[in-house]
């Protein structure tokens, strides 16, 4: 019944090809195959082109093969051996994943865009996409971060929506890419609140040619400044209901819970990285699990406080306390995520976290450090740093103003 009256299918593109982007391409490609009545069978993945070499210890190495003679383009290697040998080695990608190094080509005619990029690259990529996407496209942002400055705070999904004039939901959770790629069970949270102009019924009705829609709460009668002029999804496509969006991501090993709190899901994915840095600092001191638990407790409270203070009309406390994008993501990130690991190693070795980032992350970037700086700038502009002692402590540790050993004193409530 979900596709009654529809004869076109949704084409899906993945914008990004790091370990998380490649993992997302894998599970989405599996799902379009499982739902051929909803989705086009090819998933294009935009690849930031790089030169790579197939090493002798790779399962694809064959000294007689031209592919193994000298450097090759990453996109060519992915399409030939169906593996991202640099960012997700050892994991076979479905044959319907097509790597494309040309950004406009990778999104041509796609009605669903899945963004999986470091948050600092979102503005530039969106500017390059402008004018190259269908005007009624919809997005899902899997990027964990926020765009924060003294002027205010903007969600990544919101930034995408405003730059491209599309509605964009968010996906976030306790999601370590390598484990999901190996099909180890996990769960995630997808926030998607279909714009009213997009029919939620089996037989779509005619919608206006365009209208101003709030990107945080699309059903709001009077859109806020966080809005964009959207084109309705044509009625000859299956409706992008929460049910159909779930079908794009849910796998037997990757369980999806759908909510409508885009702000809460986005903030959880961003702010947990600051908490993970703090957990790494105390673990690097050898203080054990009790210390990590204390840091996590304070951090979750600050996440809730931040959301309710700056997105009071839409954020739900339950998003942080009950969903994978909240408490579960904090736990996972404070046990083994990259922000935790780099902060721990920096404390253990006495090196700066930026030195560790360069040597440990294979060219990828930490999200926690940039988010910590941006959040601090925002909180300082509001004069409320004291209300967020853990976030402020992490910033000051990164700046060298205080030491990790001072965390207990800094986060203790002041009478």
Annotated binding site for substrate: 144, 338-339
Residue 118's pLDDT is what? 85
Annotated binding site: 16-21, 121, 144, 177, 338-339, 365, 367
- Measured between its terminal Cα atoms, the distance across the chain in Å is 60
Q: For the chain, give every domain's residue range.
A: 10-50+86-260, 264-411
The residues pairing with 100 across neighbouring beta strands, listed in sequence order, are: 46
264-411, CATH topology level: 1.10.1040
Asked if 140 contacts 188 with a C-beta cutoff of 8 angstroms, the reply is no
Residue 272 annotated among the catalytic residues of the structure: yes
Residue 2's pLDDT is what? 47
Residue 41's pLDDT is what? 98
Number of other residues whose CB lies within 10 A of the CB of residue 15: 28
Residue 204's pLDDT is what? 40
The predicted-structure confidence for 174-183, as pLDDT tens digits, reads as follows 998 999 999 9
10-50+86-260, CATH topology level: Rossmann fold (3.40.50)
Q: Give dist(CA 37, CA 1) in Å, integer.
A: 11
Annotated binding site for NAD(+): 16-21, 121, 177, 338, 365, 367
Candidates 158, 139, 193, 145; CA nearest to 15 is 139
The predicted-structure confidence for 373-408, as pLDDT tens digits, reads as follows 989 999 999 999 999 999 999 999 999 999 999 999
Look at strands 227-230 and 211-214 and give their pairing.
antiparallel
Residue 205's pLDDT is what? 43
Residue 313's pLDDT is what? 86
Look at strands 254-259 and 186-191 and give their pairing.
parallel
DSSP state at residue 221: S
Candidates 133, 242, 155, 244; CA nearest to 195 is 242
Asked if 261 contacts 170 with a C-beta cutoff of 8 angstroms, the reply is no
- With a cut of 50, list the residues of the chain below it in pLDDT: 1-2, 200-207
Q: Give dist(CA 171, CA 347) in Å, integer.
A: 31
From 272, 292, 344, 345, active-site residue:
272
The predicted-structure confidence for 118-139, as pLDDT tens digits, reads as follows 888 999 999 999 999 999 999 9
Q: Give dist(CA 258, CA 252) in Å, integer.
A: 16
Using DSSP's 3-state secondary structure scheme, residue 97 falls into strand
């Amino acid at each position: 019944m979900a596709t009654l009256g529809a004869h076109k299918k949704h084409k899906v593109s993945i914008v990004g090809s790091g370990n998380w982007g490649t993992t997302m391409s894998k599970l989405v490609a599996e799902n379009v195959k499982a739902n051929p009545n909803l989705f086009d069978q090819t998933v294009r993945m935009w690849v930031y082109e790089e030169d790579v070499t197939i090493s002798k210890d790779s399962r694809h190495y064959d000294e007689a093969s031209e592919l193994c003679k000298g450097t090759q383009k990453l996109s060519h290697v992915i399409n030939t051996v169906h593996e991202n040998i640099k960012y997700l080695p050892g994991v076979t990608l479905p044959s319907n994943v097509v790597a494309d190094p040309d950004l406009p080509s990778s999104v041509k005619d796609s009605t669903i865009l899945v963004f999986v990029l470091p948050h600092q690259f979102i503005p530039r990529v969106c500017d390059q996409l402008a004018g190259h996407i269908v005007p009624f496209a919809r997005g899902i942002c899997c990027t964990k971060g926020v765009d924060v400055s003294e002027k205010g705070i903007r969600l990544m999904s919101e930034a995408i929506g405003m730059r491209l004039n599309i509605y964009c939901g968010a996906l976030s959770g306790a999601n370590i890419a390598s484990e999901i790629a190996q099909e180890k069970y996990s769960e995630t949270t997808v926030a998607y609140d279909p714009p009213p102009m997009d029919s939620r019924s089996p037989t779509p009705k005619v919608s206006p040619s365009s209208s101003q829609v709030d990107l945080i709460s699309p059903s709001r009668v009077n859109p806020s400044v966080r809005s964009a002029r959207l084109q309705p999804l044509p009625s000859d496509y299956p409706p992008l209901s929460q049910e159909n969006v779930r079908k794009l991501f849910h796998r037997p090993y990757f369980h999806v819970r759908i909510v409508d709190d885009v702000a809460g899901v986005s903030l959880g994915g961003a702010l947990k990285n600051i908490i993970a840095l703090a957990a790494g600092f105390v673990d690097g001191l050898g203080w054990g699990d009790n210390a990590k638990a204390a840091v996590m407790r304070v951090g979750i409270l600050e996440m809730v406080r931040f959301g309710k203070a700056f997105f009071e009309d839409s954020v739900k406390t339950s998003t942080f306390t009950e969903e994978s994008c909240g408490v579960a993501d904090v736990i996972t990130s404070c046990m083994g995520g990259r922000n935790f690991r780099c902060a721990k190693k920096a404390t253990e070795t006495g090196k700066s976290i930026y030195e560790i980032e360069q040597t440990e992350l294979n060219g990828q970037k930490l999200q926690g450090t940039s988010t910590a700086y941006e959040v601090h700038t925002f909180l300082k502009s509001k004069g409320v740093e004291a209300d967020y002692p853990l976030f402020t402590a992490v910033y000051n540790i990164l700046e060298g103003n205080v030491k990790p050993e001072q965390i207990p004193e800094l986060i203790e409530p002041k009478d």
